[in-house]
Structure 1
């Protein structure tokens, strides 16, 4: 449970840092107003508020989130959120019912775009540029 809660807190810190340091990320959230939450079935979780180009997060659950990511357990939530192949892990989680997504799916897709800013840049090696 503690690892899951720490991961959610660290996620908010990473988003804040990226928005401050990356102009593209700052533009992406500039005009957005959104409240969403990531939680477990048992009620542990955190909600995130994106407003006026900033990200805030608080422990607990929001009264009226636009969407919610609900995990069956904190261990499953940590496993899916910290997976190296995040997109595939999300799809497996939804397929196995370890992850339930409720709310506005357009906002979920926007959120997926936001998390793409947290991915490390792809490095193209010189020999990968050849035609052979």
Structure 2
């Protein structure tokens, strides 16, 4: 569980840094106003707010996220979120190890945001 929570925190730090230092990321999030969360079925997770060109994050869940990524358990989440194979996300959905709820258009937007998670990625 600790590794999962740490990974969610790292995601927050990478997004914050990219929003500040990477002009392409700043442009990508410009004008966005949404809250999303990543969690396990048991309810452990973190939520992220994208607003006013900034990314903020808090531990725990929020009541009305724009969308939620819910993983079967922390280990499954770690495997999917850290996979080098881009198909891992889709396989997780097919296997019901990952359930997505909420605004699917914003989920697609989020998938574009993930390219800024790699350190040093432009």
TM-score interval, normalised by the smaller of the two chains:
over 0.9
Structure 2: distance between partners of 1:43 and 1:118: 24
Post-superposition Cα deviations, 1:80-101, rounded to whole Å, max 9, x if no partner, equal 001112x211011001100000
Query: 1:69 and 2:60 equivalent?
Result: no
Point out where structure 2 has 5 or more consecutive residues left out of the alignment.
Answer: none
TM-score, normalisation: structure 2: 0.94
1:121 CA displacement:
8.1
Q: State the Cα distance separating 1:120 from its structure 2 match.
A: 6.9
**Number of equivalences:** 121
Q: Which has the higher contact order (CA 8 A, sep 6+)?
A: 2
Task: Determine which structure has more spread, i.e. the larger CA radius of gyration.
Answer: 1
Q: Distance in 2 between matches of 1:88 and 1:98?
A: 13
Q: Aligned equivalents of 1:65 and 1:73: distance in 2?
A: 20
Runs of 4+ aligned structure 1 residues displaced above 4 Å come to: 119-122
1:46-68 deviation per Cα after TM superposition (whole angstroms, max 9, x unaligned) = 00000001111111111100100
Q: TM-score, normalised by structure 1?
A: 0.87
Separation in 2, partners of 1:29, 1:80: 24
What corresponds to 2:7 in structure 1? Answer: 7
Distance in 2 of aligned mates of 1:38 and 1:16:
16
Return 5+ residue gaps in structure 1 as ranges. 123-132
Aligned to 2:43: 43
